[in-house]
Chain A
Amino acid sequence: MVVRFMRKHALLVFALILALVVAGCGGSKENTEKEASTETKEPYKIGVVLDISGPGSSLGIPERDTINMIIEKVNESGGIDGHLIELTMLDNKSNETEAALAVKNLIEKDVLAIVGCSTSGTTLAMIDAVQQSEVPLVSAAASIRIVDPVNERKWVFKTAQSDSLVAERVVTYLKSKGLTKIAFASMNNAFGDSGRAEFEKAAAAGGITILGTEKFEVNDTIMTSQITNIKKLNPDAVIAWAIPPSASSFTTSYRALGLTQPLIHSHGIGNKTFIDLAGKDADGVVFPVGKLLAAEGLPDDDPQKQVLVQYATDFEARFGPRNTFGGHAWDAINIVLDALEKAGPDRAKIRDEIEKTQNFVGISGIFNMSAEDHNGLGLDSMIMVEIKDGQWVPVID
């Protein structure tokens, strides 16, 4: 009955949909105009594209919260030279096509700089657009390909540690513990794949033998077959390169099958989600990570300590447990804001200032960028952390 009634009014429904679409196009314009007119000084526009929903959301959500928190603070204290920051944040839904569209949307809105995305694939899908339109982009994703080859990435920077750096850090740890024969397992996506490639390089350089490699899918929950294969190899230690939930599932399966070798993860588990999902099985896992997770445990003379503790308390007061991804966004947005303050509203000058960033004390490390290095982090930006009773404790190696 209802259906028949409504079917008669199909035109109405259609009009409703149309109205929604039109409202979408019209509404946004009105809003920006209004905001602009109430300010005495024209606001500086910054664009953000993050993986807020979809598979990358565990990275994108803390990044979104961090950036909103920082911009709120800056605007409360009067903005930059009296210019408020107008933030346009778009969700690419972890989809590369949408990321490519989002970046063009932002460029058309005349943003001065763009921060994003959360993952490497979505970032890479935006690079062509920013290179062509000459807009500075600071990514919070890890892959070295985002900033390499640097002559084709003039406008692109990133704040997360490169996989090569993380791999090197793990190899240093392995050597210091005398663990020379290892097995390697990675999740089958860009993160795991790049990690495997970089680890193989670092291992070869550092004299570590990889007895075998295994892969598991992003949504796998039972890794018995992979771990059985690893068990047969009898390695000194096992390296897992993944993010939760599969990283947690791997750990649970690892403990269930009773392997006694040390389990070393990557920086991909730098959030509480991993511990929540793996529970008791997480205890004893060692992994390399930026200093944020164990900020309070750092020696007082550590130059980053103050910044880290401050961010961690601010973030945890509002959004829950800290994680390194939010830290990458903290670095990205602050590097952009610093450059904006020095250069004023000019895309090319902002880019030059970002490239000149020196001794910038951030969350992921101390940044020293240059024309050859658009990441600017060194080995000292990472520490090894062990999970003990669900807490992160720094390990000395």
Chain B
Amino acid sequence: MKDLTKRKRLRHSLIIIFSAIILLLPFIITNNYYLSVLVIIGIHTIVVVGLCLLMGYAGQISLGHAAFYGLGAYTSGILTSTYNVSPWIAMLAGAVGTGAVAYIIGKPIFRLKEHYLALATLGLGLIVHVILMEEVELTGGPSGLTKSIPYLSIGKLVLNSDFKYYFLVWIVALLAIILANNVVHSRIGRALRSIHGSEFAAQSLGVDTGKHKLQVFALSAMYASIAGSLYAHYITFISPNPFGLMTSIQFVVMAVVGGLSSIWGPILGVSVITVLTEALKEVIPKIIPQAGGEYEIVVFGFILVMIMIFLPEGLTAGVVNLYERWRYRKERTDETSGN
């Protein structure tokens, strides 16, 4: 019992320390490019936190999260540029709308299990992408929205620089992490984990598995939608290109690399993948001149395979395991030396 409160305290202090670091970072990093990489990491983190809730705790895979990301971006983009709606209201509308879509679509989809469920979410992603491509009147079709999307602003403060946007994105990301953390450690969180463990066992204990899965699905869709809105106001131009299948897969990869069973997984996974992508872009042309992204994929694939073989539970779990093994070994040597 004592151990439990200690753990809780540790968890809270970790979050506080992390938040402090995150919010101080832009004062140390003055390079706009690094800031913009961090902004993108923040935006992707929001999506992946939601995805981790779904995959890690409810044990349901989604290969269609870019669709929700896109729905949020397009709702924000269309409402603000064509209909002059306030960006914040548009963002909220996007989140609520996307959550509702996920809830309604989730109902029949969650009758499916495992691979079939994965395929259904894959289909969902493709359908949304097709709609974005084909509804030319509304979405501008494959060329993207014709009007430029306005910046977000708080009162008179226009968030038009990476520095300002960084704070918005990371405050939202931190809130998303804290909310997810609370969900995980609530009654619902325990119910979710029991679903992940064994759905039949959970059902026999009276957990309404269907309801909980749907709720988490809708929540993670809302996370993705908010991230999409933030993306749209950051780049100020959207086309269907970033909301396709590859992005969905990228989100899943980020979640898996980071590890599904910890709230720190998403941040770690997204950071590693994004920083790696950007770093490889710099390094590879120096080693092999003329090389493009096709070489990056080779290195990338290699790293992924390595992680899957040696740290199958993702980086966070891997690091924690290593730490515990180190501590165990140390305790043992202490014991022997004490003797």
Residues of A bordering B, CB below 8 Å: 3, 6-7, 10-11, 13-14, 17, 20-21, 23-25, 27-28, 31, 52-54, 57, 60-61, 64, 68, 89-91, 93-98, 100-102, 104-105, 107-109, 120-121, 124-125, 127-128, 132-133, 143, 145, 152, 188-190, 192-194
Chain A CB within 8 A of B186 CB:
no
Give min CB distance, A372 to chain B, whole Å. 19
Residues of B with C-beta under 8 A to A10 = 310-311, 318, 321-322
How many A-B pairs have beta carbons closer than 8 Å: the answer is 147
Given the known A-B contacts A101-B36, A107-B33, are A13 and B279 also in contact in the complex, defined by CB atoms under 8 Å? no
| Mask of B119-162 contacts with A, CB within 8 angstroms, 1/0 | 00000000000000110100001111010100000000000111
Contact partners of A120 in chain B: CB under 8 A: 143
User: 9 A-B Cβ contacts within 8 A?
Assistant: A14-B319, A28-B282, A64-B292, A101-B36, A101-B40, A104-B162, A107-B33, A108-B34, A109-B33
Whether B32 contacts A104 by the Cβ 8 Å rule is: yes
Report the Cα distance A121→B278, complex, angstroms.
20
Binds A, one of B171-179, B212-220, B234-242: B234-242
Min Cβ gap B181→A in Å is: 25
Chain B residue at minimum C-beta to C-beta distance from A149: B148
**A144 → chain B closest CB, angstroms:** 10
Asked whether, in the complex, the Cβ of B281 is within 8 Å of the Cβ of A90, the reply is: yes
Q: Is the interface of A mostly helix, strand, loop or mixed?
A: helix
CA distance A105 to B162 in the complex (A): 12
Cβ contact within 8 Å between B309 and A6: yes
| CB atoms of A128 and B235 under 8 A apart | yes
Chain B interface: which size bin? 35 or more
Q: Does B290 contact A (CB under 8 A)?
A: yes
Please name all residues of chain B whose beta carbon is closer than 8 Å to the beta carbon of A128 when the two chains form the complex.
148, 235-237
Q: Are A121 and B40 in contact (CB under 8 A)?
A: no
In the bound complex, do residue B37 and residue A101 qualify as a contact, i.e. CB atoms below 8 Å apart?
yes
Q: A121 touching B279 by the CB < 8 A rule? A: no
B142 partner residues in chain A, CB cutoff 8 A: 121, 188-190, 192-193
B242 touches A95 (CB 8 A): yes
How distant is the Cα of A95 from the Cα of B162 in the complex, in angstroms?
20
Q: Point out the residues of chain B lying under 8 angstroms from A194, CB to CB.
A: 143
Interface members, chain B 305-336 (any A CB < 8 Å) = 306, 309-311, 315, 318-319, 321-322
CB < 8 Å neighbour of A190 from B34, B144, B272, B290: B144
Residues of chain B with a CB closer than 8 A to A133's CB: 32
Report whether A193 and B31 are in contact in the complex, using a CB–CB cutoff of 8 Å. Answer: no
Are the CB atoms of A24 and B310 closer together than 8 Å? no
Quick check: is B85 within 8 A (CB to CB) of the other chain? Answer: no
* Contact indicator A6/B148 (Cβ below 8 Å): no
Query: With the chains together, A68 CA to B293 CA distance in Å?
Result: 17
Chain A residues contacting B280 (CB-CB under 8 Å) are 24
Known A-B contacts A91-B293, A104-B36; A124 and B31 likewise in contact (beta carbons under 8 Å): no
B281, B299, B315, B318: the one contacting A91 at CB < 8 Å is: B281
Given contacts A6-B309, A105-B33, contact A95 B286 (CB under 8 A): no
- The 3 nearest A-B residue pairs measured at CB: A24-B279, A53-B293, A52-B292
Q: Which chain B residue shows the least CB distance to A92?
A: B293
With known contacts A28-B286, A120-B143, A96–B241 Cβ distance under 8 A: yes
8 more A-B residue pairs beyond the given contacts A27-B282, A52-B293, A94-B241, with a C-beta to C-beta distance below 8 A: A14-B318, A53-B292, A53-B293, A64-B292, A132-B161, A143-B143, A190-B239, A193-B141
B235 touches A100 (CB 8 A): yes
List of B residues within 8 angstroms of A91 by Cβ: 281, 292-293
Residues of chain A within 8 A of B321, CB atoms compared: 10
Q: Is the CB of A188 within 8 A of B286?
A: no
Which of A13, A64, A109 has the largest count of B CB atoms less than 10 A from its CB?
Answer: A13
Question: A residues within 8 A CB of B277?
Answer: 98
Give, as a whole number of angstroms, the nearest-CB distance from B307 to chain A.
Answer: 8
Query: In chain B, what residue has the closest Cβ to A121?
Result: B239
Report whether A96 and B32 are in contact in the complex, using a CB–CB cutoff of 8 Å: no
Determine the chain B residues whose CB is within 8 A of the CB of A90 once the complex forms.
281
Output the least CB separation between B39 and chain A (Å).
9
